[in-house]
């Protein structure tokens, strides 16, 4: 991995490149995606089946072929070994327990005048989950997206996932069975986003779409936002590591590679005040690379988008990491919790040498669908909140409207909205 000194004369330009790591050339694919979405909006299943033939190399003859039979999910679940079943159920239980603690409640309070104010929390009617396929299938992504929707109380959950050559990953189907999902469709890419956003003869229109995907999926989500809600525009995976001289070199090196192996566009960044640690981690990364099953992917990621920054102090390291705002942030120092308060921007924070990022991907409990590319400055992890909507509650008593009605009408007058003002004054006059 390349080592950059924060004190070097060209550091500013090199660091700017790191800050731009998450940029996706959405403009270049917008026209293509927009065309695909329009086809689905106009022609429904007919367009959907044509696009599946074009991108996934099989063409459904009947509309019913788009949907996965729940019996196939159950069969896939029964086919996996018991240890794996236990692992998936443990993951389910931990994710569910964590998200239950995030669940907001409806609340009200009563003022002395008798006015009642509050907020009503209600789940959306229907949620759409996009689960990637293609290079790999991720049952963990299904769990991370479905469980918050289940906890939120969403009545109907729709899943879309690509099935290249009309084949689906058995573990993904098993995860669908664990979540008791019934509406799972073999549709991927921008086609799936369009189908869930607009609805077709087979795939129902949803209220919110969540889940990661490639640039075509991200672009489609951006284009349908407003027709439906979305969770975020997520880009390639990334990890940032803050470490001092006490950090375990092998742990750090492998953690950096755990993100690099996702895809060539992933980024892995270590910031440390120890030049010795930087050199040793760089060498260890090269050693570990040779043993990886996805060496070619990880190597390209590390060489093109990986970096180790050496700073003068850890305070400087923290400041730089806050500017990066990584999706995943590991703090591996003598006292990691001492740094926690200083961290302003990160999707998920992993504290201590026994908390590798992959534990958060699968089984810790918090969601692994996280903001990328610096968007942790304004986005939050996927949670039950994404599947809920909130309504304000207002109930004025006779005494209450007498207390504040005059001022309300005055503000309406100033804004030139006479019907607004008269609406309040009619009530005030009626009381008098």
Helix intervals (H) in 1-69: 11-19, 26-43, 45-56
Angle, nearest 10°, between helix axes 295-305 and 275-289? 150
CATH level 3 topology of 3-23+235-364: Rossmann fold (3.40.50)
For the stretch 141-188, pLDDT in tens is 999 999 999 999 999 999 999 999 999 999 999 999 999 999 999 999
**pLDDT attached to residue 136:** 62
For the stretch 305-341, pLDDT in tens is 999 999 999 999 999 999 999 999 999 999 999 999 9
Do the domains spanning 3-23+235-364 and 26-230 agree at the CATH topology level? yes
pLDDT of 134 > 70? The answer is no
**Section 83-110 average pLDDT:** 98
**Section 184-212 average pLDDT:** 97
3-state secondary structure of 429: helix
**pLDDT attached to residue 144:** 98
Could you give the residue numbers annotated as active site? 327-328
CB count, 10 Å around CB of 64?
9
Structural class in CATH, domain 26-230: alpha beta
For the stretch 243-271, pLDDT in tens is 999 999 999 999 999 999 998 999 999 99
3-state secondary structure of 184: strand
Domain boundaries, the chain: 3-23+235-364, 26-230, 396-431
CB count, 10 Å around CB of 27?
8
**pLDDT attached to residue 404:** 97
**pLDDT attached to residue 154:** 98
- 230 and 209 Cβ atoms separated by less than 8 Å: yes
**pLDDT attached to residue 23:** 74
Query: Which of 369, 342, 366 is closest to 355 using CA atoms?
Result: 366
For the stretch 210-222, pLDDT in tens is 999 989 999 999 9
Check: pTM over 0.85? Answer yes or no: yes
pLDDT of 135 > 90? The answer is no
For the stretch 373-431, pLDDT in tens is 999 999 999 999 999 999 999 999 999 999 999 999 999 999 999 999 999 999 999 99
């Amino acid at each position: 991995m390349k080592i950059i000194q924060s004190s070097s004369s060209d550091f500013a330009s090199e660091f700017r490149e790191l800050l731009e790591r998450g940029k996706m050339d959405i403009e270049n694919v917008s026209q293509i995606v927009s065309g695909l979405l329009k086809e689905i909006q106009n022609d429904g299943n007919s367009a959907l089946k044509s696009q599946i033939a074009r991108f996934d190399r099989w063409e459904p003859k009947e509309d019913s072929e788009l949907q996965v039979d729940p019996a196939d999910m159950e069969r896939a679940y029964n086919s996996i070994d018991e240890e794996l079943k236990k692992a998936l159920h443990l993951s389910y239980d931990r994710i569910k327990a964590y998200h239950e603690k995030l669940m907001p409640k409806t609340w009200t309070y009563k003022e002395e005048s008798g006015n009642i104010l509050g907020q009503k929390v209600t789940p959306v009617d229907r949620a759409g989950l996009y689960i990637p396929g293609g290079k790999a299938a991720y049952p963990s992504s299904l769990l991370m997206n479905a469980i918050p929707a289940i906890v939120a109380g969403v009545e109907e959950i729709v899943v879309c996932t690509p099935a290249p050559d009309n084949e689906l990953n058995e573990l993904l189907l098993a995860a669908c069975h664990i979540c008791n999902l019934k509406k799972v469709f073999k549709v991927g890419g921008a086609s799936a986003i369009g189908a869930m956003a607009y609805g077709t003869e087979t795939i129902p229109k949803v209220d919110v779409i969540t889940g990661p995907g490639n640039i075509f999926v991200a672009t489609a989500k951006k284009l349908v936002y407003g027709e439906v809600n979305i969770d975020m525009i997520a880009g390639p995976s990334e990890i940032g590591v803050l470490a001092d001289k006490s950090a375990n070199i092998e742990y750090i090196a492998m953690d950096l590679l755990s993100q690099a192996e996702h895809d060539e566009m992933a980024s892995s960044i270590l910031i440390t005040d120890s030049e010795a640690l930087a050199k040793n981690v760089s060498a260890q990364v090269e050693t570990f690379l040779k043993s990886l099953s996805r060496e070619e992917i990880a190597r390209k990621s590390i060489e093109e988008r990986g970096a180790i920054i050496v700073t003068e102090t850890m305070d400087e390291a923290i400041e730089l990491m806050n500017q990066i705002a990584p999706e995943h942030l590991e703090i591996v120092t003598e006292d990691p919790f001492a740094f926690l308060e200083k961290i302003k921007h990160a999707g998920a924070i992993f504290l201590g040498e026994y908390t590798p990022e992959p534990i958060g991907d699968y089984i810790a409990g918090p969601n692994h669908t996280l903001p990328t590319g610096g968007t942790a400055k304004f986005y939050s992890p996927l949670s039950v909140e994404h599947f809920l909507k909130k309504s304000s509650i207002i109930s004025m008593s006779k005494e209450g409207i007498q207390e504040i009605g005059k001022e309300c009408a005055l503000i309406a007058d100033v804004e030139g909205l006479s019907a607004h003002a008269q609406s309040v004054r009619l009530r005030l006059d009626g009381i008098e």
